[in-house]
Amino acid sequence: MGRNRVKMTIAGTEYTVVSEEPALYMLQVGCDLDNDLRDMMKNNPRLTPTMAAVLTAINDRDRLNKAEEAADNLRDQMREYLEENAALRAELERLRRRG
């Protein structure tokens, strides 16, 4: 996959980001971040852009941690379902051979 250089403006500062992700995706990420920062500063006018960036990073990290925990829980649940399914199939096969 190729590397894409994307220019984006976040909280009034222009950045050039190099990524293997598609340019459109990176632009959307930048736009979402810019919106989050602007909302943070709008709701808390005393925040500097740096303070808003740190608080936004904390919020994003919190969401990431919760999403990872939810994904882990879903994987555990799927593993349990697969184990239960395998046990039921084995029981069904045993009953078929018996009957």
Q: Could you read off the pLDDT of 11-46 as tens digits, one per residue?
A: 999 999 999 999 999 999 999 999 999 999 999 999
User: CB burial class (10 A; 0-12, 13-18, 19+) of residue 14?
Assistant: exposed
User: Which residue range is the domain that position 84 belongs to?
Assistant: 4-98
Count other C-beta atoms under 10 Å from residue 36's C-beta: 19
pTM over 0.85: no
User: CB burial class (10 A; 0-12, 13-18, 19+) of residue 29?
Assistant: middle
| Residue 91 banded pLDDT, cuts 50, 70, 90 | very high
The answer on pLDDT for 79 being more than 70 is: yes
Q: What total of structural domains would you count in the chain?
A: 1
Q: Which of 56, 55, 48, 1 is nearest to 23 (CA)?
A: 1
Q: What is the reported pLDDT for 2?
A: 81
